[in-house]
Structure 1
Amino acid sequence: MKLQQIFAVMWKELRQMARDRMTVAMMIGIPSMQLLLFGYAINPDVRHLPAAVADMANTAGSRALVQDMFATDIVRSVAGARTPQELQALLQAGQIRIGILIPADYERRRLDGREAVQVIVDGSDTSVQASARQLAQMPLEGQRVAGPAQISVLPLYNPRRIAAINVVPGLIGVILTMTMVMFTAMAIVRERERGNLELLITTPVTSAELMIGKVLPYIAAGLVQATLVLVLGAWLFQVPVHGTLWDVYAASVLLIVANLSLGLLVSTMAKTQFQSMQMAFFLFLPSIMLSGFMFPFDGMPKVVQWLAEVLPLTHFIRLIRGVMLRGAGLLELWPDALALAGFSVAMMTLAILRFHKRLD
């Protein structure tokens, strides 16, 4: 072995790496992104949870208690309710994460030392339960410390806080994001590297027909993956499906099409299959970190939440947990379903336009 030859090969690799802009971007971008995500965006201390209050007592004491609860910054008012049923409907539709129920005989209960307030929590996200329990430590009017069980916490949908029940529905989205984007990210590049692209250009197939034709087979593959996760989740971890299977599969199809469209757009920008894999991996990090799958969405800064709203996985997490754990329907969760559909149309349109330009 000669050091001069080793040095020559090393120098050649360094120059080749420097010429590959995607590799340089990955070397700089991934550690920078992780530092920003974990240092700035990820915050386990959840605040400003969307909440609604059903104050059936409407006394000076009950109104003061509500103001004190909102002053903690743990919750913020986003809707109003008059009855427990209205609170339940808001929770099921995902419009609020916490419902505060104050009964009509609040003052008598408070003076008797009985349970006087009930904090109803969307337990489909375990991090919300931990933050909501801080409200139960608040003292009522005339007390220095909270009375015994005077503010109770009622977690719905996952009262035992079993991690698998919270994780498995979101895992469907994570798996579909990783596989679907990767499959189609290499689609056009693979055709170009194998020389098949020139043959396709000579056929009467249009750009739109080619793109849609490449997407359709993977939809079936994605549904097989979703079914596998559902079956294993129910068998191994007893994960419930409170909604209909139709809504579960409809939400899955929306995410599959969104990810396939995004993968096709990546495929039109990459020059090699390795480059397409790099770009796809670059998209995985923010999707998994910011979607609410691993870390509480409500704990992120507003700017990061706006960025997360662009990611399809963020909307799917809300859809699938709403359907499987809360028993909601897609019509109740229409904003997130509409966001996924709009994302698919936008990405597919851009992919078709970019591919048409490549043909020119």
Structure 2
Amino acid sequence: MNVGIYASSTGRILRQLRGDHRTVAMILLVPTLLMVLLYFLYVNVPPTPGQPPLFDRIAITMLGILPFVVMFLITSIAMQRERGSGTLERLLTTPMAKLDLLGGYGTAFSLAAAAQAGLACLVTFGLLGLTIAGSVGWVVLIAVVDAVLGVSLGLLCSAFARTEFQAVQFMPVVVIPQLFLCGLLVPRDQLPQWLEWISNVMPLSYAVDALQQVARHPGATALMWRDLAVVAGFAVVALCLAAATLRRRTP
């Protein structure tokens, strides 16, 4: 990776984002608005005795899931748009390496993800009254790492798509099974054993586990750090695989 080319690639993508107001609005506002919708969905549901309010239990998990889903969708479509317009092929005829290009995408969208996570947490904790035992800062960190995972997987999946529609088709294959098995619908230890084994190799499961650790404990725990490291490791591996599978020429 060439640092100068990588920085130039990051700057180019950030300038493109700045000029695409719809994408910026989707990145920044969609997770926050969905959290508001979730609040009003559960605001009148009576709490179970001895349990935290249902909104608190679900919202802390969704703060990690929504950035992952949104950034996966946006990144996979954005990369495919670069390929379809011929921009990607022109860039890869220059001295720019594949990892320079994808690293620039990862960094630019990660910065956008940090703003996204900060805004969603500000509204959820400040206005909607979500309460947890741990620090809000850890929630923001986990949400950002989860969004970076979505970016990396989006870049990887886009390498196998030829159109934007095909890029979107990877969602039910890559994203939805993780939503089902991450512990959002059913605790992972209550899944059938074979499904629990599958959930153990899905990165979103570890992001949800890390958020649950923050919700229950006032300080950072060893399990939280382990789960966060697993998610970050998946993101790095996905980015490297995306660089390895990225085609220099559009079929």
| Structure 1 residue 356 displacement after superposition | 5.3
Amino acid in structure 2 at the alignment position of 1:213: G
Distance 2:65 2:76 in 1: 16
Residue in 2 that maps onto 1:233: 124
Deviates more, 1:286-295 or 1:251-260: 251-260
Q: Say whether the 8 Å CA contact 1:193–1:272 is kept in structure 2.
A: yes
| Structure 1 residue 180 displacement after superposition | 1.0
Residues 199, 358 of structure 1: alpha-carbon distance in 2 compared, 3 angstrom cutoff: closer
Q: Say whether the 8 Å CA contact 2:152–2:238 is kept in structure 1.
A: yes
1:212 aligns with 2:95: no
| Structure 1 residue 319 displacement after superposition | 0.8
Where does structure 1 differ by over 6 angstroms across 4 or more consecutive aligned residues? none
1:163 aligns with 2:54: yes
Residues 332, 297 of structure 1: alpha-carbon distance in 2 compared, 3 angstrom cutoff: closer
Residue in 1 that maps onto 2:228: 337
Distance 1:262 1:346 in 2: 9
Distance 1:351 1:358 in 2: 15
| Structure 1 residue 220 displacement after superposition | 2.1
Distance 1:306 1:287 in 2: 12
Residue in 1 that maps onto 2:67: 176
Residues 160, 237 of structure 1: alpha-carbon distance in 2 compared, 3 angstrom cutoff: farther
Which gives a bigger RCO, structure 1 or 2 (Cα 8 Å, sep 6+)? Answer: 2
Amino acid in structure 1 at the alignment position of 2:226: P
| Structure 1 residue 242 displacement after superposition | 2.7
Distance 2:172 2:70 in 1: 11
Residue in 2 that maps onto 1:324: 215
Deviations 1:213-238 (A, max 9, x none): 01112112222222233223224442
Distance 1:357 1:333 in 2: 39
Deviations 1:28-75 (A, max 9, x none): xxxxxxxxxxxxxxxxxxxxxxxxxxxxxxxxxxxxxxxxxxxxxxxx
User: Aligned to 1:306, which of 197, 202, 221?
Assistant: 197
Structure 1 gap segments, 5+ residues each: 1-129, 131-154
| Structure 1 residue 205 displacement after superposition | 1.1
User: Aligned to 1:192, which of 65, 71, 83?
Assistant: 83
Alpha-carbon RMSD across the aligned residues, in angstroms, is 2.3
Distance 2:222 2:51 in 1: 28
Structure 2 gap segments, 5+ residues each: 1-47
Residue in 2 that maps onto 1:244: 135
| Bigger Rg, which one | 1
Residue in 2 that maps onto 1:259: 150
Structure with higher strand content: 1
Distance 2:247 2:83 in 1: 14
Residue in 1 that maps onto 2:94: 203
Q: Say whether the 8 Å CA contact 2:102–2:155 is kept in structure 1.
A: yes
> Which secondary structure does the structure 1 equivalent of 2:208 belong to?
helix
Distance 1:195 1:285 in 2: 30
Q: What is the identity percentage for the equivalent residue pairs of Structure 1 and Structure 2?
A: 28
Deviations 1:179-206 (A, max 9, x none): 1111121233111111212220222111
Q: Say whether the 8 Å CA contact 2:213–2:223 is kept in structure 1.
A: no
Distance 2:52 2:134 in 1: 19
Residues 346, 164 of structure 1: alpha-carbon distance in 2 compared, 3 angstrom cutoff: same
Residue in 2 that maps onto 1:273: 164
Deviations 1:120-170 (A, max 9, x none): xxxxxxxxxx9xxxxxxxxxxxxxxxxxxxxxxxx9xxx443101101111
Give matches, 1:1-360, under 5 Å. Answer: 159-329=50-220, 331-355=222-246
Distance 2:56 2:94 in 1: 49
Structure with higher helix content: 2
Residue in 2 that maps onto 1:97: none
Distance 2:186 2:60 in 1: 15
Distance 2:59 2:184 in 1: 10
| Structure 1 residue 333 displacement after superposition | 2.1
> Which secondary structure does the structure 2 equivalent of 1:269 belong to?
coil
Q: Say whether the 8 Å CA contact 1:215–1:261 is kept in structure 2.
A: yes
| Structure 1 residue 323 displacement after superposition | 1.2
> Which secondary structure does the structure 1 equivalent of 2:170 belong to?
helix
